[in-house]
Chain A
Amino acid sequence: MSQSLSVRKDVWGDATTGKLGMWLFILIDGLSFGTLLIGGAALRAGAASWPEPGTVLNIPLTAFNTFLLICTSFTMVMALNSVQRDDQKGLVKFLLLTMLGGMIFLGIQVYEYTHFIMGSEHLGEQLAKAGMSGTKFLTTSSVYAGAFYVTTCYHGLHVFSGVIYIFCILMAAMRGRYSSQDYDKVEILGLYWHFVDLIWILVFTVIYLI
């Protein structure tokens, strides 16, 4: 692009303007997640009791979801690797796999939410163990429930945006927009996707495991 006239090459190594922008966004977004997680931790610190891990939330299911999301990080790296080798088919294949992984992740999250919102006798028993009443696990159930929903939903929105983002890049990739000379947009997409993965590992640890 003719924009290069006004771009300084001598600072920040070879990072392009777009990459710098994405890193800034990641810093910003990380801070918003940080506030949600630390806010949740502060509420927990002030609480007299807090449900034991695994009483309400389904750890094995979400562990599978976590594994899935980590796998999509791998496929994203493979997509970048493909475009760097000018392997157009590989790029499209791995972007498609990454998008699919993201969609399955969202599907499982929706299943989990539905299960909580519809409620069941079994869920009611589990909730009673954790000191909550009723057979449904809702935002109004407790501060714990609120913290669970706000953090996972905020992350889910990021995965959802990520899936749309991948779809846009995928469309361009299918038209042969990227090559080993010009793959900046794929790399920036990768930055975002890896960030969403990394944040999920933190969310999974804080909300589900401890």
Chain B
Amino acid sequence: MSDGTAHKQSFITKYIFSTDHKMIGIQFLWFGTFWLLWGGLQAMLIRWQLAYSGQPVPIIGKLLFGASDGIITPDIYNQIFTMHGTIMIFWAVTPLLSGAFANFVIPLQIGARDMAFPVLNMFSFWTFFLSGVILLASHFLPAGPAAAGWTSYPPLSTPVGGIAGHGQALWALSLTLMGIAVIMGAINYVTTVIRMRAPGMGYFQMPLTVWGIWLAAILNAVFVPIIAAGLIFLLLENVFGTQFFIAGSKATVEGGDPLLYQHVFWIFGHPEVYILILPIWGIVSDLLSVFSRKPAFGYRVTATCMCIITCLSAIVWGHHMYTTGMSPLLGKAFMFLTLLISIPSSVFFLNWLGTLWKGSLQLRAPMLFALSVVFVFGIGGLTGLYLATVTSDIYLHDSMFVVGHFHYTLAASVLMGSYAALYFWFPKMFGKMLNPLLGKIHFWGTFIPLNIVFYNMMVTGYAGQHRRLYDPYIYEFLQNLKPLNTQISWWAWLLGAAQVVLVVNLIWSLMKGKKAERNPWNAATIEWTVDYPIPHGNFAQMPTVYTGPHEYSNPAIQGRDWISQTEKLTAAS
């Protein structure tokens, strides 16, 4: 199997219980896309409620909420925003980045035949799949799925808190299973990168994509077990009636503590946002270099900064908890540490600009998305400063400002980055090019509404709108926000509609797309040296690495402006 030659496989071993990292990557891709659309639909419903509070949802309303004549009731609203957050973070973005692209790209970019533990890799996907089935099933419970917000703070998330049904238990169970799947993946990625690099591929010859995914995998390995333990506490709370997190009369003697959950949750929760964004930083750094035809500016510094941020991300969780009654002294310490992160972040942000500076920019579809990440991440990062600072956070906490901020960093940056990666690696995954014109329509259809939506969310938050209000307009001071909220909703629906272009593009390109050349982007990394379809085992001959990952426009190269990592620079000149 590992001798690099193709061999006979049945349909089941090739497409379903495959141990090939490329097929597992593609399985994760469709799995993540399904949940992305599901979570996206829920976002559209949230916006309906905020624009046309209490009116029946047109067309699909009767189908989804038959019992209430298509009206989103307060209970259903809670369930929708809870599930929207949970699904987007854990079942859409995580499988896309730490599943699809990590699996597909790591072995190809470091020159390995497969992952270190191919069977574990298969189990990772199917455990993830099972967790998804459980989460999906929880939608059909009589009392509906979990409804305590994606953070599921107790006591709301416990039976004592009053949310009826078993949705919360299934939420904790499916999330624990998802954690196990992610841990399996993380063990695989970390080991693979340490042990399986091709000869000549030192850590500082790795593409930044691999750096980003690797660091994210390390964070997964360290912090997912912590939330898994926290979720076990929560599961026992819901199933076996323990009272770890209840600060009631019983607890005055025995010390149940709701804050304990929040600490455990955010010790994981803050690294989680870096788990999501680190792969994107890596992918964008590489893509900017490819499409500027320049080496990535300050490659080693970028990689080092990503490492520093990985370390810092572990000790800043308290900035989510300024208003919880935590010691103000601790709040100050967390504020200082959080603001420290802006230093390495700014450094590699400037490195991105350095890569673009005087480059020969090629505005092809992946580059458009990569450039938009530079823009939206800039805004997302800067608005984070207001939330990192205790004084301004106390006003902005739990407002729509927070929602706008993390949608800029997570929804906008991560989604646009994932799209960049999809357009970039699609030819290697499926042997077809995605249609560039539809790609550009998809880009502008996403980029413009997305900015209007998330920017104005911050405006409404600054004006005082709380993030989880069912009907904000029962408060007099929020009534004049109704026109703005309605406009946001219309733009959000446009944003949702633009994703149809992507779906059409995917289907059309898979059926009738232009056949991709071996290296359509003239990129230097190793995955572009093999032809589609890549056989099980990837390389007929194991590659040897001679140059860095970004050898573009080197004056020593003759005839073209790039050489592959497997070519000797002297041989080409």
Contact = CB atoms under 8 A, between A and B. Distances in A.
B336 interface: no
B191 A6 contact: no
A202 to B, nearest CB: 14
A189 B271 CA distance: 31
B232 A36 contact: yes
Given A12-B194, A43-B255, A36 B229 contact: yes
Contacts of A139: 236, 240-242
Contact of A47 (B117, B191, B198, B254): B254
Nearest to B241: A140
A128 interface: no
Interface string A1-37: 1110111100110000110110011011101111110
A58 B113 CA distance: 53
A60 B154 CA distance: 37
Interface stretch (B35-43, B219-227, B298-306): B219-227
Contacts of A24: 186-187, 190-191, 221
Q: In which size bucket is the chain B interface?
A: 35 or more
A17 B112 CA distance: 13
Contacts of A2: 2-3
A6 to B, nearest CB: 5
A184 B255 CA distance: 47
A62 to B, nearest CB: 21
Q: In which size bucket is the chain A interface?
A: 35 or more
B253 interface: yes
Interface of B: 2-3, 111-113, 116-117, 120, 183, 186-188, 190-191, 194-199, 221-226, 228-230, 232-233, 236, 240-244, 250-257, 260, 264, 542
Q: Is the interface of A mostly helix, strand, loop or mixed?
A: helix
A48 B252 contact: yes
A35 B228 CA distance: 9
A33 B232 CA distance: 11
Given A17-B116, A24-B187, A146-B242, 8 more contacts: A6-B113, A24-B186, A32-B229, A47-B254, A131-B253, A139-B236, A143-B251, A150-B242
Contacts of B112: 6
A42 interface: yes
Given A6-B542, A25-B187, A43 B244 contact: yes
A42 B245 CA distance: 11
A154 interface: yes
Contacts of B232: 36, 150, 154
Contacts of A31: 222-223, 225-226
A45 B197 contact: no
A3 B198 CA distance: 12
For the complex of A and B, the 5 pairs showing the least CB-CB separation, nearest first, are A47-B255, A146-B242, A35-B229, A32-B225, A46-B255
5 contacts: A21-B117, A27-B221, A28-B186, A28-B187, A35-B226
Nearest to A3: B2
Nearest to B196: A6
Contacts of A47: 253-255
Contacts of A181: none
B113 A39 contact: no
B569 to A, nearest CB: 23
B252 A20 contact: no
A2 B113 CA distance: 11
A48 to B, nearest CB: 5
A154 to B, nearest CB: 7
A35 B225 contact: yes
Contacts of B228: 32
A20 B260 contact: no
A113 to B, nearest CB: 13
Given A39-B230, A47-B253, A47-B255, A7 B240 contact: no
